[in-house]
Structure 1
Amino acid sequence: MSSHRLPSRPAPTAAPTTTPARVRAGRSISVLICAVAVGAATACAPSEGAVTPSLAAAAPASPGTGASASTVGAPGIGDPDFPTDGNGGYDVQHYDLRLSYDPASRKLAGSATIEAKAVQDLTSFDLDLHGLTVSRVTVDGGAASFSRSKDELVIEPGGQISNGARFEVTVDYSGVPEPMRDSANLGEYGFISTPDGAFVTCEPNGAKTWFPSNDHPSDKATYDFRITVPAGLTAIANGEMAGTPQTNAGKTTFVWREKHPMASYLATMTTGKFQIRTGTSARGLPVYVAVADNYRGSLDQLYTQTAKITDYWSTVFGPYPFSSTGGVIDDYAAGYALENQTKPIYGGFSPAPTIIAHELAHQWFGDSLTIKRWRDLWLNEGFATYAEWLWAEHTGQYTADSAFRRYYANAADPMWSYPPGTARPDDLFGAAVYNRGAMTLHALRREIGDDKFFPLIRAWTDAHRYGNVTTQEFISMAELISGKNLKSLFDAWLYEPRRPAPIP
């Protein structure tokens, strides 16, 4: 998912259509169109890590909506719908987070070292941080002055940082984390204390509740986590564990490393008492699943379904983009699931296979391919919802076409007045973004045919692997690969506040 409340879905209706054919992919769009094959045996092989430039690096115009001669980094990255999210002036390359959490006192102590590259001259810049008390800030080892303004941590280094220079800022901080509260969207999110630890789901802008960051999906980075908790508890983060957890003086330290670029909202440090199962999928991909003690009966099903679905998606969407797959069930009743990179988390429920399919599809659509601006959220949620329909089709529950037609038949559905191509900040996770977004893909599939649709999806995931994407980029690729002018189709399904004409 992206953090979302689980939308309703049609009940099984008809026998499945033919499972989508195995499609072929290469590294460039022209090669993709020519269908040069990538061997199926490597489709789910662990990735060794790769980095592509984030939006900030690719477009070194930082403050607000355009370039500025100012040496003050902007307090927002330029997303018009979330104007205070993220920051201008720099591009984060890596986060090194050293964290200690005590569930009894609910106190978090952290030291975050952020490696970044300036994209303008800087005499000051901001990090996003919600609550918590900052005790010390250094830039390249030298003391830096700092101040707070709401959720902005404003830092003034000892000297000017030149455009293009790499620099390192370390922030020492502590306190009791306060989750974000947004009743119009998810309710509570971010760092949420639980009786035995913490449930950490950060979409859209909750990373700042537990570490200072450039908290917007357009600035992706790699991560190291060093998390210390009371002995007997488990700390779970993204990527893979580096070495064996070490216990000393009643505390255990877990080290995790995510070596692929990751948006801040996908980072987690979920902690508590968990049952763990590890292994490899049939295609050789490492699997890590954890369930809270109250859900121990779901451990094997979560493991089996996660491995099976990840392997299957690698044959439909292209090679799996990360080095491991997994999932976590915590006993916090969030009412939603979130596609934390490499380890989707399910808040207080045992997920059905279709929900696992949704969250694992996000590893491609949302995690590897990350939106540049929140208004394009359908590129995450529409694709993952359509993946639910494809999984149901693959397993014989119902067809994608029957799901589409069941939704379309409800002419009174409020989603017809909500064009999903521009997600609303006050209703970011509305049903239209999910269901009408998925319907857009099915309308496209019917228009261009399976022989173009599935190669298009693989071309899309390949061309933008680990990068940031926009709706217009997807439309352009769809037109290139199909050889058709698709403007009227996308306008009708994504941008018009009315029910489109029926499809054949």
Structure 2
Amino acid sequence: MTRSAARRAAATATAFLAAAVLTAAQLPQPPQPGIGDRLYPKVGDPRYDVTAYDLTFDYRGAGRPLDAVTRIRARARTALTGFHLDFTRGTVRSVGVDGAPARFRLSGGRLLVTPAHRVPRGGPLDVIVRHTSDPGGPADDGGWVRTPDGLALADQAEAARRVFPCDDHPSDKARFTFHVTAPRGYTVVANGLPVGRPHATAGGVTWTYRTAHPMATELAQISIGHSAVLRATGPEGLPVRDVVGAADRIRLAARAALVPGQIAWMERQVGRYPFETYGILSVDTSTGFELETQTLSLFERRVLLAPASFAAPLMVHELSHQWFGDSVTPADWSDLWLNEGHATWYEWRYRAEVEHGPSLEQQARTAYRRDAANRADDGPPARPKRPGSGQLGIFRDNVYDGGGLVLYALHQEIGDRAFRALERAWVTRYRDANATTADLIALASRVSGRDLRGFLDPWLYGDRTPPMPGHPDWRTDPAR
């Protein structure tokens, strides 16, 4: 954004603010506080469907809130006189709906919006919010991740609302465009591919990226820092770009060199990579997790610097999420095992087959021993207990190892040929869409030619670990 454009935007924002800020009494409460997700019931709004986000951020240095503009294209699922967006950790300056100022207020992590005119059912909904985006919150809450030289994003599970106003539930996927301005000398990378070249403005350099496929808000990624971008070519000419600290260009080159081969390995398992690009993003901070942000997976620098026998299977774990979780996205957070179970399954297999570590059977048996305790502590894989506080509240062993065990048991039950056919059918049928545990059971039954509900239900929903097919001698450790 040029300086003159910024002045025009500021004048528009002032006019909108004067028209829009009203008392709480003048704003009706939405009739439903959230989409009704069992684990995160307060996020989302079922009354509209977002089709596209266009996000603009102006980064001016460490610790300072970013000036931001969020543009949303959506369609009303019902006639609307009001709606809400999930948003916290920022100041809202103005809201416009369909070109007219709208009334608004922030309450309980939601931006409540009352348009000037009723939006008919099925009608377009064009929203523009001028706001700040504050990276200064607690690090374990998610959203912006602060690094020594900039920022990155870690929005899982429902932390995108700490960065920009949105419908922060994975069932509402949309395409994204990012415009990020940073001082000269910084490199900006985001989901998708660049649109044009970075161009200088009065405020620095503006970078634009756009996704070619819909994406859940939890998978958004923006990296701002003194970074090097290592480029390679993957299968079928896929552009691969890995983002590392400029000082790590040589040190992390060996890790980046693994990526094209890992993509090829995954394609041999489940078919063509589902997106327009891929790469790894190294962040010099301690998050306590790695994250499958779409087309650009986030890794702690210390993990990538670890020996390949440790780092490479984790890289495949996040890569496999591009199929399982990113392309095929759970319709509800209770279906998280569909993501993490599959990522664990391919991590196990890669560790056994490529890294020559413990066999698949050994890894599954170790997980089996712990499964009774995991179910007692956190619930069965497809019915996890409600999360505690903190960003990692639902990311527990019951959906990782427990989900991997479900797939191991299914593989044992239906055989390798049917299982591989199921995996390919799953990522093909639900590509770019949302799916549920019930969808997987139904598809597995069709592919195998038998009703698998009776077999899978105890594995997915039971309080006790079922016997493992083919391994009657396997035992679980006592629940704590």
Confirm or deny that 1:84 pairs with 2:42: yes
**Alpha-carbon deviations, 1:176-218, whole Å to 9, x = none?**
334467xxxxx33111333321121100011111111000000
Higher RCO, 1 vs 2 (CA within 8 Å, ≥6 residues apart): 1
Give the superposition deviation at 1:372: 0.8
For 1:157, the aligned partner's letter is P
Confirm or deny that 1:360 pairs with 2:313: no
Aligned equivalent of 2:153: 200
Correspondent of 1:209 among 145, 151, 162: 162
Confirm or deny that 1:397 pairs with 2:363: no
Paired residues of 2:153 and 2:222 also in contact (CA < 8 A): yes
Cα RMSD for the two superposed structures: 1.9
Give the superposition deviation at 1:450: 0.8
For 1:420, the aligned partner's letter is P
Confirm or deny that 1:296 pairs with 2:249: yes
Paired residues of 2:227 and 2:243 also in contact (CA < 8 A): yes
Aligned equivalent of 2:23: none
Confirm or deny that 1:218 pairs with 2:179: no
Q: TM-score, normalised by structure 1?
A: 0.82
The separation in 2 between residues aligned to 1:165 and 1:302, in whole angstroms, is 48
Paired residues of 2:133 and 2:164 also in contact (CA < 8 A): no
**Alpha-carbon deviations, 1:19-60, whole Å to 9, x = none?**
xxxxxxxxxxxxxxxxxxxxxxxxxxxxxxxxxxxxxxxxxx
Aligned equivalent of 1:248: 201
User: 289-298 or 224-233: which moved more?
Assistant: 289-298
Confirm or deny that 1:125 pairs with 2:78: no
Confirm or deny that 1:458 pairs with 2:424: yes
**Alpha-carbon deviations, 1:463-491, whole Å to 9, x = none?**
10010010011011111111123223312
Aligned equivalent of 1:414: 374
Paired residue secondary structure (2:410): helix
Paired residue secondary structure (1:261): coil
Give the superposition deviation at 1:415: 4.3
Paired residues of 1:72 and 1:122 also in contact (CA < 8 A): no
Give the superposition deviation at 1:156: 0.9
**Residues 382 and 302 from structure 1, CA distance in 2 versus in 1: closer, same or farther, beyond 3 angstroms?**
same
Confirm or deny that 1:442 pairs with 2:395: no
For 2:256, the aligned partner's letter is Y
Correspondent of 1:488 among 446, 454, 458: 454
**Alpha-carbon deviations, 1:310-365, whole Å to 9, x = none?**
12212211221100111100101112100000000012423311001000000000
Aligned equivalent of 1:144: 102
The separation in 2 between residues aligned to 1:371 and 1:99, in whole angstroms, is 29
Correspondent of 1:159 among 99, 114, 117: 117
Q: Which runs of 5 or more residues in structure 1 are unaligned? A: 1-69, 182-186
For 1:444, the aligned partner's letter is L
Paired residues of 2:335 and 2:436 also in contact (CA < 8 A): yes
**Alpha-carbon deviations, 1:136-182, whole Å to 9, x = none?**
1111111111111121101111100000001210000125334467x
**Residues 288 and 412 from structure 1, CA distance in 2 versus in 1: closer, same or farther, beyond 3 angstroms?**
same
Give the superposition deviation at 1:220: 0.3
Give the superposition deviation at 1:226: 0.3
Which residues in structure 2 correspond to 1:35-114 (within 5 Å)? 72=30, 74-114=32-72
Aligned equivalent of 1:377: 336
For 2:398, the aligned partner's letter is A
Aligned equivalent of 1:170: 128
Which residues in structure 2 correspond to 1:308-323 (within 5 Å)? 308-323=261-276
User: 332-341 or 415-424: which moved more?
Assistant: 415-424
Richer in helix (by share)? 2
Paired residue secondary structure (2:318): helix
Give the superposition deviation at 1:121: 0.2
For 1:462, the aligned partner's letter is T
Confirm or deny that 1:424 pairs with 2:385: yes
Aligned equivalent of 2:226: 273
Aligned equivalent of 1:472: 438
Paired residues of 1:289 and 1:302 also in contact (CA < 8 A): no
For 2:345, the aligned partner's letter is Y
**Alpha-carbon deviations, 1:207-253, whole Å to 9, x = none?**
11111100000000000000001111112210011122122346111
Confirm or deny that 1:335 pairs with 2:288: yes
**Alpha-carbon deviations, 1:346-393, whole Å to 9, x = none?**
124233110010000000000001011101100000010001012123
Aligned equivalent of 1:60: none
Paired residues of 2:95 and 2:129 also in contact (CA < 8 A): yes
Q: Which runs of 5 or more residues in structure 2 are unaligned? A: 1-27, 305-310, 388-392, 471-480
Aligned equivalent of 1:184: none
The separation in 1 between residues aligned to 2:455 and 2:137, in whole angstroms, is 40
Give the superposition deviation at 1:125: 0.6
> Identical aligned pairs, as a percentage?
36
User: 256-265 or 421-430: which moved more?
Assistant: 421-430
**Alpha-carbon deviations, 1:255-287, whole Å to 9, x = none?**
010120000000022211112111211431110
Paired residues of 1:125 and 1:155 also in contact (CA < 8 A): yes
The separation in 1 between residues aligned to 2:159 and 2:50, in whole angstroms, is 17
The separation in 2 between residues aligned to 1:174 and 1:487, in whole angstroms, is 48
Paired residues of 2:422 and 2:447 also in contact (CA < 8 A): yes
**Residues 138 and 436 from structure 1, CA distance in 2 versus in 1: closer, same or farther, beyond 3 angstroms?**
same
For 1:156, the aligned partner's letter is T
User: 324-333 or 278-287: which moved more?
Assistant: 278-287
For 1:368, the aligned partner's letter is S
**Residues 297 and 489 from structure 1, CA distance in 2 versus in 1: closer, same or farther, beyond 3 angstroms?**
farther
Confirm or deny that 1:306 pairs with 2:298: no
Paired residue secondary structure (2:363): helix
